[in-house]
C-alpha cells in the first residue's frame, strides 16, 4: 500500500546539492512492521517527510493507497495526515495543554464532537497506560510518558500507518522498551508501523523487516533483518 518507485530527493542549499535519497524503490504492505536503519544523514527522516508530504520527491513517485502523495492538493493534505500518525524524537506536544488536551487536539482538528472527544480520549490514554496522568502537563511527565501521549495522539484518528522517527532517541532503556512494546501492540491491532531508528538492540530484538540505508541508497531490504553496521 505504500510504494516508493525510484525516488530521489536532492536538497539544494546555497548552490550545493545534498542527495538525501538516491533512487530508492520499495513497497510496504498493510500491517507490516518495518524498520528503517542507517547512520545519521542516511536519509531515514527524508523518507518520512516524503510520506507525509512535508517534502516533494525530486524524482520518482511516492504512493500511498491509490494516491500519489506529491500530487495531493493542499486541501487533501489534512486528510492524508489524519490517515498517517507520526511521532518524533522530540515528542512535539503542546506545552500549554494537558496530556488529555493534547490528545483531544487531534480530534478537534478533525472536527469531532465534544462527546466523541470525551469518549475516545480516555480510551486512548488507557491504551498507552496513562489514564491517571491525563491532567498532567507535558512538563510534569517523563520522556517516556510524553512519547506515550504522542502515540495516543497519533493513534486517536485510527490511522492506517504509524510512522515513528527515532521515537526512543531521548529515552532511557526502560522507557525505550515500553515504547517498542507499545508499537508492537499497535501493530498487532492492525496498524502498519514504520520505525526509523539507530538502535541496534531494538532492530535485532524485533526480528522484523529491515530496510538499511546508506548515503540515501537502499543497500539492504530483508524480511527478518538484523542491524548490520557497515
Partner 1 sequence: MFLTKLFRTIKYGFLRFWREGSLSMATVAIVFLVLVGFGGLLLFNAISNKTLGYIQDKVDISVYFKTDANEDEIIRMQKSLQQMAEVRSVEYISKDRALEIFKERNANDPKISQALGVVDANPFGAYLNIKARELKDYAAINAYLDKDAFKSEVDKISYTESAAVIERLKKIKTTVEQSAFVLLIFIVATAALIIFNTIKLAIHSNRDEIGIMRLVGASNYFIRGPFLVEGILYGILGGVMATLVIGGGIYYFSPYMRIFVPDLDGWNYFISNSFRFLAYEAFFGILLGVVSSYIAVRKYLNI
List contacts with partner 1 (CB under 8 A): 52, 74-75, 77-82, 86, 92-94, 96, 105-106, 108-114, 153-154, 157
Backbone phi, then psi, for 220, in 5-degree steps? -155, 145
Query: Within its chain, how far is the Cα of 211 from the centroid?
Result: 15
User: How many Å apart are CA 180 and CA 188, to the nearest integer?
Assistant: 12
Distance CA 162, CA 86 (A): 6
- Give the Cα separation of 213 and 94 in Å (integer): 32
Task: Determine contact, residues 49/32, Cβ cutoff 8 Å.
Answer: no
Q: What residues are paired with 194 via a beta bridge?
A: 34, 163
Give the bridge partners for 10, in sequence order: 19
Output the smallest distance, CB 11 to ligand ATP, in A.
Answer: 3
From 43-51, 52-60, 71-79, 120-128, give the range in contact with Mg ion by CB under 5 A. 43-51
- Judged by CB under 5 A, which of 45, 168, 175, 191 binds Mg ion? 45
Residue 41 binds which entry of partner 1, ligand ATP, Mg ion, none, CB below 5-8 Å type-dependent: ligand ATP
Q: Measured from the CB of residue 181, what is the shortest distance to partner 1 in angstroms? A: 24
35 lines the binding site for Mg ion (CB under 5 A): no
CB of 228 to partner 1, least distance (A): 32
Contact residues toward Mg ion (CB under 5 A) are: 45
Amino acid at each position: 500500500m505504500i510504494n516508493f518507485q525510484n525516488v530521489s530527493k536532492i536538497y539544494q542549499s546555497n548552490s550545493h546539492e545534498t542527495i538525501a535519497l538516491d533512487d530508492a524503490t520499495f513497497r510496504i504492505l498493510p500491517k507490516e512492521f518495518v524498520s528503517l536503519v542507517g547512520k545519521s544523514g542516511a536519509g531515514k527522516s527524508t523518507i518520512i517527510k516524503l510520506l507525509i508530504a512535508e517534502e516533494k520527491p525530486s524524482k520518482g513517485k511516492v504512493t500511498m493507497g491509490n494516491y500519489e502523495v506529491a500530487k495531493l492538493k493542499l486541501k487533501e493534505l489534512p486528510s492524508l495526515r489524519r490517515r498517517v500518525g507520526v511521532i518524533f524524537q522530540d515528542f512535539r506536544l503542546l506545552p500549554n495543554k494537558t496530556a488529555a488536551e493534547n490528545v483531544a487536539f487531534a480530534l478537534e482538528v478533525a472536527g469531532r464532537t465534544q462527546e466523541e472527544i470525551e469518549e475516545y480520549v480516555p480510551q486512548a490514554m488507557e491504551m498507552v497506560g496513562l489514564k491517571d496522568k491525563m491532567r498532567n502537563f507535558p512538563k510534569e511527565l517523563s520522556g517516556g510518558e510524553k512519547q506515550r501521549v504522542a502515540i495516543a495522539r497519533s493513534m486517536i484518528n485510527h490511522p492506517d500507518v504509524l510512522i515513528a522517527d527515532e521515537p526512543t532517541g531521548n529515552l532511557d532503556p526502560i522507557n525505550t522498551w515500553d515504547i517498542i512494546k507499545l508499537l508492537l501492540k499497535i501493530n498487532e491491532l492492525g496498524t502498519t508501523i514504520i520505525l526509523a531508528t539507530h538502535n541496534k538492540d531494538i532492530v535485532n530484538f524485533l526480528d522484523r523487516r529491515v530496510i538499511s540505508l546508506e548515503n540515501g541508497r537502499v543497500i539492504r531490504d530483508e524480511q527478518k533483518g538484523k542491524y548490520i553496521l557497515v
